[in-house]
């Protein structure tokens, strides 16, 4: 049970991080080196198109990952009732 809780916490934080990274990339117009390796960024010929293509996927993963927040809420409620 504790392992599942730990994984839920990690997934939620990764989702939040990816959503923030996507927003920063969209605002700045530069690809984040924490999302994509630096070697791959150098090979990219059209960063704006890459950012337009990847941000919906990052936001989608962040939405799914935030769904794990409900698991944390239910776990916390269960602990309070014990």
- Using one digit for the tens of pLDDT, what is the confidence trace for 36-75? 899 988 999 999 999 999 999 999 988 888 777 776 677 7
Angle at 58 between CA 57 and CA 59, to 5 degrees: 90
44, 31 in Cβ contact below 8 A?
Answer: yes
> How far apart (Å, rounded) are the C-alpha atoms in residues 80 and 67?
21
55, 9 in Cβ contact below 8 A?
Answer: no
Q: What is the pTM of this model?
A: 0.73
Which is more confidently placed, 19 or 2? Answer: 19
> How far apart (Å, rounded) are the C-alpha atoms in residues 17 and 20?
5
Q: Which band of pLDDT confidence, cut at 50, 70 and 90, is reported for residue 2?
A: low
């Amino acid at each position: 049970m504790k392992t599942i809780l730990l994984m839920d916490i990690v997934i939620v934080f990764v989702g939040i991080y990816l959503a923030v990274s996507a927003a920063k990339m969209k605002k700045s117009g530069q690809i984040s080196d924490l999302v994509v390796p630096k070697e791959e960024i150098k090979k990219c010929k059209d960063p704006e198109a890459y950012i337009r293509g990847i941000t919906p996927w990052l936001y989608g993963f962040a939405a799914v990952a935030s769904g794990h927040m409900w698991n944390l809420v239910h776990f916390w409620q269960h602990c309070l009732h014990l």
